[in-house]
């Protein structure tokens, strides 16, 4: 075998010569090194041999193809056989990376994990693992630490402020059911075990990065909000007040664009609470406490000393309408959030429904009998598909998410167990906001009506009732999703009109059950007001009989079939046929998803 000449494969200069004439070189051994455009290119022996000649020295310029070194192939002198180049070591940068990444895992802080579990709580990473499909989560900014390097050692920050107390990333939720395209989701989780889940400098940069991604790629957004608000200890951040932080604006700008669900367990104060309050849906555990100012801020403002759990107890806030769903713990909260996200994904296979014949007896006999509208909704909807929102607030209207034939819908029903089904201030606000939520998400709105109208009287008017009632009409007039209405028993006055998106012909279809009654106001009141002179002129012994006769005439005129014959409603249906009728109406009106329907969804 003849001499092998090694030639330059790049244009550059000789940076180092590691072989000597007459010296042995193993297979893979470096003969010399070239430098080109600040990069180093080693020239390695393709086989073992002895260096025969060198054609260059350090500093020489070479062109592609120039001869560099000659090697006589063969066994190395002394009987040694050709050897492979030594294996590359796994130490160095890769080892540093692995060690650094290990500090991000919960396993690096076993005491923290034990403490969270002892409290009946999960770690932030456990919550994210439960939210996303296995192996789908991609973390952003995990190597960040608190902006406190000028006051704490870097090793200390890496060990005790992993991810700067905020874990952010994207992944898939329910890809098996909806496919990867519809399963995409973004999430941020404040880590209460790191500086009480406070919002630091890099922490805000990370949240802004994820919010930007959510906006650009239309990703549903989930917020785990447990934490104490702003963090004054980040001294490396060159700001005075930090009031130019864009996180709150960025999350608010997603309203009406993508669904935003907030989850809270434990304490959630100040900036964390502000983010939570901007979400479309809020899921809170019963043990959580939420406030725009925590105990320190309250005390600092001279407002007294308050225990954290007394700032904004979840039960109190649920009654105030600030929480959409109360659950027992984080496990339930995350499971429910996965279900809520599914409403924004689209249809699932039809799960079937209960025996619809039960609806014929859903309303007890007697015009004044009360009933629970939830039982009617659960019968109409697909099996186990309902989720009630704001159950503790505005109880004059029941608002639920449900599926009909697998398709997501929003259902609102008046509640005769509260004020006989009359709409009060809270019911108006609850329903108006529910309409916006459905409109932004693209859910058809189904309303079930049994109402004497709006609540009246000096006490209710003192609350500005006319503005709250007007909010219903204004909101309904802007809806782009189809509305379908069914009058179950009473459809009286302006309240009934508000429940049917403004008037009985505003829905794509309005039907009534056979026993339903209609009138411009409650029939008893209409008779007393409209026939006041006749009733006053009647002898006292005959007055009640006249009233009953006039009331009977009014009821006859207001019967469902008479309404339908005058085309004031579209149909009268057997209660047992309600689900089938709804499915047919919705199938005939279903359309492709439109661009975002609203500039924003009101938080209230």
Average pLDDT estimate for 561-573: 96
**Sign of the CA dihedral with 288 first, then 294, 296, and 299 last:** negative
Task: Return the structure tokens found at 554.
Answer: 């009014």
Q: What is the pLDDT of residue 592?
A: 52
In a domain, 52, yes or no: yes
Q: Is residue 78 part of a domain?
A: no
Residue 26: CATH number of its domain: 2.40.50.100
Q: Once rounded to an integer, what is the mean pLDDT over residues 96-107?
A: 92
Q: In this predicted structure, what is the pLDDT of residue 80?
A: 39
Q: Report whether pLDDT(345) > 90.
A: yes
- What CATH number is given to the structural domain containing 449? 3.90.226.10
pLDDT-derived band at 549, boundaries 50, 70, 90: confident
Q: Report yes or no on 405 lying in a domain.
A: yes
Identify the pLDDT of residue 394: 97
More confident residue, 199 or 75: 199
Which of left, alpha, beta for 38 (phi over 0: left; psi -120 to 50: alpha)? left
The answer to whether 487 and 421 are in contact (CB under 8 A) is no
Predicted local distance difference test score (pLDDT) of residue 226: 97
Q: Is residue 279 part of a domain?
A: yes
Report pLDDT for 81.
Answer: 37
Q: Is residue 534 part of a domain?
A: no
**HEC readout, 178-196:** HCHHHHEEEEEEECCCCHH
Kindly state whether residues 401 and 337 are assigned to the same domain: no
Looking at the structure of the chain, the number of domains it has is 3
Mean pLDDT of 190-210: 95
Percentage of residues in the chain having pLDDT higher than 70: 95
Helices in 262-382 by DSSP H: which ranges?
271-277, 295-300, 314-319, 330-345, 373-380
- Examine the fold and report which residue of 344, 361, 389 is the final residue of a domain before the chain moves on: 344
Based on the fold, state whether residues 291 and 410 are members of the same structural domain: no
Instruction: Say whether both 201 and 275 belong to one domain.
Output: yes
Question: Are both 359 and 292 inside the same structural domain?
Answer: no
Select, from the ranges 329-343, 529-543, 550-564, the one with the highest average predicted confidence (pLDDT). Answer: 329-343
User: Quick check: is 581 in a domain?
Assistant: yes
**Same domain assignment for residues 420 and 277:** no
Same domain, 358 and 331: no
| pLDDT value of residue 87 | 46
Between CA 387 and CA 483 the distance in angstroms is: 19
Pull the structure tokens for residue 173. 């939720």
pLDDT one-digit tens code per residue, 64-78: 999 999 999 976 554
Nearest to 377 by CA among 367, 385, 369: 385
In order of 30, 91, 287, the CA distances from 42 in angstroms are: 6, 21, 64
Bridge partners, residue 262, by sequence: 223, 282
Question: Is it the case that residue 576 has pLDDT exceeding 70?
Answer: yes
Q: Which tokens belong to 494?
A: 């302006």
Contact (CB, 8 A) for 248 and 204: no
- pLDDT band at residue 537 using 50, 70 and 90 as cut-offs: confident
Domain match, 332 and 353 both:
no
> CA of 213: how far to CAs of 200, 208, 491, 499, 579, in Å?
20, 9, 47, 38, 40
Helix (H), strand (E) at residue 583: helix 578-589
Instruction: Please give the residue range of the domain that contains residue 17.
Output: 4-73
Q: Is residue 552 a part of any domain in this protein?
A: no
Domain boundary among 344, 367, 401: 344
Q: Give pLDDT, residue 552.
A: 77
Alpha carbon distance 439, 483 (integer Å): 10
Last residue of a domain, one of 326, 344, 362: 344
Same domain flag for 258 and 355: no
Biggest CA pair distance of the chain: 138
Residue 286 and residue 182 share a domain: yes
87-96, 184-193, 251-260, 492-501 — which is least confidently predicted?
87-96
Q: Is the pLDDT of residue 595 over 90?
A: no
Give, rounded to a whole angstrom, the gap between the first and last alpha carbons of the chain: 87
* Residues 174 and 294 occupy one common structural domain: yes
Task: Give CA–CA dist 285/399, Å, rounded.
Answer: 20
Q: Cα–Cα distance between 337 and 341 in angstroms, integer?
A: 6
Report the range of poorest mean pLDDT among 386-390, 481-485, 518-522: 518-522
Chain centroid offset of residue 554 CA: 49
At 528, the pLDDT band (50, 70, 90 cuts) reads: confident
Q: Does 602 fall in a domain?
A: no
Q: Give the residue from 458, 482, 462 showing the smallest Cα distance to 404.
A: 482
Measured CA to CA, the distance from residue 25 to residue 72 in angstroms comes to 10
Does residue 328 sit in the same domain as residue 390? no
**569 and 445 fall within a common domain:** yes
């Amino acid at each position: 075998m003849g001499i092998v000449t090694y030639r330059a494969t790049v244009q550059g200069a000789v940076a180092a010569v590691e072989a000597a004439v007459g010296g042995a070189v193993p297979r893979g051994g470096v003969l010399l090194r070239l430098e080109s455009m600040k990069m180093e290119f080693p020239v390695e022996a393709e086989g073992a041999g002895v260096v025969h000649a060198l054609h260059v020295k350090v500093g020489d310029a070479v062109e592609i193809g120039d001869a560099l070194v000659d090697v006589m192939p063969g066994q190395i002198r002394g009987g040694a056989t050709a050897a492979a180049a030594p294996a590359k070591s796994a130490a160095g940068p890769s080892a540093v990376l692995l060690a650094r990444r290990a500090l991000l895992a919960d396993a690096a802080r076993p005491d923290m994990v034990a403490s969270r579990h002892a409290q009946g709580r999960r770690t932030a990473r456990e919550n994210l693992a439960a939210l996303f499909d296995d192996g789908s989560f991609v973390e952003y900014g995990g190597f960040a630490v608190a902006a406190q390097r000028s006051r704490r050692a870097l090793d200390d920050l890496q060990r005790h402020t992993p991810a700067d107390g905020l874990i952010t990333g994207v992944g898939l939720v329910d890809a098996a059911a909806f496919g990867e395209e519809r399963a995409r989701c973004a999430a941020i989780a404040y880590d209460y075990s790191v500086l009480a889940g406070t919002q630091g400098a890099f922490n805000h940069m990370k949240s802004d990065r994820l919010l930007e991604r959510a906006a650009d790629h239309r990703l549903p957004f989930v917020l785990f909000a447990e934490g104490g608000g702003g963090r004054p200890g980040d001294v490396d951040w060159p700001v005075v007040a930090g009031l130019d932080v864009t996180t709150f604006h960025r999350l608010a700008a997603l309203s009406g664009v993508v669904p935003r669900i907030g989850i809270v367990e434990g304490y959630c104060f100040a900036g964390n609470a502000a983010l939570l309050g901007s979400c479309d849906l809020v899921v809170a555990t019963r043990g959580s406490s939420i406030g725009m100012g925590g105990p320190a801020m309250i005390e600092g403002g001279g407002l007294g000393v308050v225990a954290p759990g007394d700032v904004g107890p979840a039960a109190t806030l649920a009654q105030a309408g600030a929480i959409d769903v109360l659950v027992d713990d984080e496990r339930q909260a995350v499971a429910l959030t996965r279900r809520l996200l599914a409403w924004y994904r689209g249809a699932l296979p039809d799960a079937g429904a209960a025996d619809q014949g039960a609806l014929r007896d859903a309303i007890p006999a007697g015009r004044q009998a009360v009933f629970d509208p939830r039982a009617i909704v659960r019968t109409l909807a697909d099996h186990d598909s309902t989720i009630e929102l704001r159950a503790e607030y505005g109880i004059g209207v029941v608002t639920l998410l449900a599926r009909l034939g697998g398709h997501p819908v929003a259902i609102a029903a008046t509640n005769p167990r509260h004020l006989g089904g009359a709409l009060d201030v809270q019911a108006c606000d609850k329903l108006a906001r529910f309409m916006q939520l459905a409109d932004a998400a693209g859910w058809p709105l189904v309303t079930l009506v049994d109402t004497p109208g709006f609540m009246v009287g000096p006490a209710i008017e003192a609350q500005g009732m006319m503005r709250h009632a007007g909010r219903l009409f204004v909101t309904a007039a802007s809806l782009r999703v189809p509305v379908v209405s069914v009058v179950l028993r009473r459809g009286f006055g302006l309240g009934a009109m508000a429940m049917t998106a403004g008037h009985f012909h505003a829905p794509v279809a309005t039907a009534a059950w056979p026993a339903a009654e209609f009138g411009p106001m409650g029939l008893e009141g209409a008779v007393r007001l409209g026939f006041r002179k006749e009733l006053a002129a009647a002898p006292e012994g005959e007055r009640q009989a006249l009233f009953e006769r006039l009331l009977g005439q009014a009821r006859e005129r207001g019967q469902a079939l008479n309404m339908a014959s005058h085309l004031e409603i579209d149909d009268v249906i057997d209660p047992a046929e309600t689900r089938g009728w709804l499915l047919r109406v919705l199938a005939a009106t279903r359309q492709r998803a439109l661009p975002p329907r609203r500039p924003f969804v009101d938080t209230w």
